[in-house]
Amino acid sequence: MEEKRLVERSKNGDEEAFGVLVKKYKTKVFNLAYSFTRDRETADDLTQEVFIKVYYALEKFKFQSGFGTWLYRIAVNHFKDYLRKHAKERHVSIDSLGREPSLPEDEFKKKERIQDTADRKKLLYESLRSIPEKHQVILTLRDIQGHSYEEIAGILKLSAGTVDSRLHRARKMLRKKIAPFLSQEGGNHEM
């Protein structure tokens, strides 16, 4: 059935139609939630909350954008709220990665340790969490979820130019965070 018809029926309280929409979008929303939280249970819970929010907000949806874009906008805002509420508990210092806080350690040893693939991946995600929220969001949407500039502009209600400049700033910020930990000159960054 056409998506618009499903949305119309859901707006009239048809749970079956809403169930079809949920089945269509649940994995995408869950993956987005997981990208932000890196925790399966939390991502699952957040995804359920997003669909509850969407169900009760349906009457406000006027088809000014695609249903998917609107759904993503609600999801991103919900995840941003979650990130704000849990900012302190989620914050992990990059310097503390795999290191006893009281033990002095020279840069060389630290760099050597994170040659390990898993550690480097962890380092990247911790660095991603440590950059400002709006940069985290845009990198997640573009580099993890693979949305196009136009889709991101629709979800975040930004111009394509702003998406471009913010994305560039976000990548630059992330690169500067991880650069000291990656291997030197012509480094071999294979995972």
Partner 1 sequence: MKCKRVETFLSRSLDGLLTGQEKAALEEHLAACSPCRKKRDEYVFIAETLGDDDFPDINPYFWERLQPRLKESKKYAFWSEWKQWSLRAVPVSIIAVVSLVLGLALFLPQTGDELSQTGDLLLRNTLPLPETVTLLEAETGENKSMQLIFMAMEEKPDLRRYFP
Among residues 17, 37, 51, 135, the one that binds partner 1 under rule CB under 8 A? 51
Measured CA angle at 54 (ends 48, 55), to 5 deg: 90
Which part of the chain contacts partner 1 (CB under 8 A), choosing from 65-73, 85-93, 100-108, 165-173? 165-173
Helix ranges restricted to H, 63-148? 67-85, 87-90, 107-113, 117-130, 133-139
| Residue 189 interacting with partner 1 (CB under 8 A) | yes
Residues in the chain: 191
What is the x/- site pattern for partner 1, positions 9-28, by CB under 8 A? ------x--xx--xx--xx-
| Residue 182 interacting with partner 1 (CB under 8 A) | yes
- Per DSSP, the three-state class of 134 is helix
- Check if the beta carbon of residue 63 is closer than 8 Å to that of residue 4: yes
CB atoms within 10 A of CB 188: 7
Q: Give least dist CB 142 to partner 1, A.
A: 8
Output 30 or 67, the one with its CB closest to partner 1. Answer: 30
- For residue 162, CA distances in Å to 64, 73, 185 come to 21, 17, 32
Q: How many Å apart are CA 130 and CA 173, to the nearest integer?
A: 10
Among residues 11, 24, 34, 97, the one that binds partner 1 under rule CB under 8 A? 34
Among residues 7, 30, 71, 153, the one that binds partner 1 under rule CB under 8 A? 30
Q: How many Å apart are CA 85 and CA 82, to the nearest integer?
A: 5
Among residues 139, 153, 155, 156, the one that binds partner 1 under rule CB under 8 A? 139
| Residue 179 interacting with partner 1 (CB under 8 A) | yes
| Residue 74 interacting with partner 1 (CB under 8 A) | no
| Residue 172 interacting with partner 1 (CB under 8 A) | yes
| Residue 75 interacting with partner 1 (CB under 8 A) | no
Which part of the chain contacts partner 1 (CB under 8 A), choosing from 65-73, 95-103, 106-114, 174-182? 174-182
| Residue 191 interacting with partner 1 (CB under 8 A) | yes
Token reading at 190: 């294979």
Task: End-to-end CA distance of the chain: give it in Å, rounded.
Answer: 43
Q: Give least dist CB 93 to partner 1, A.
A: 20
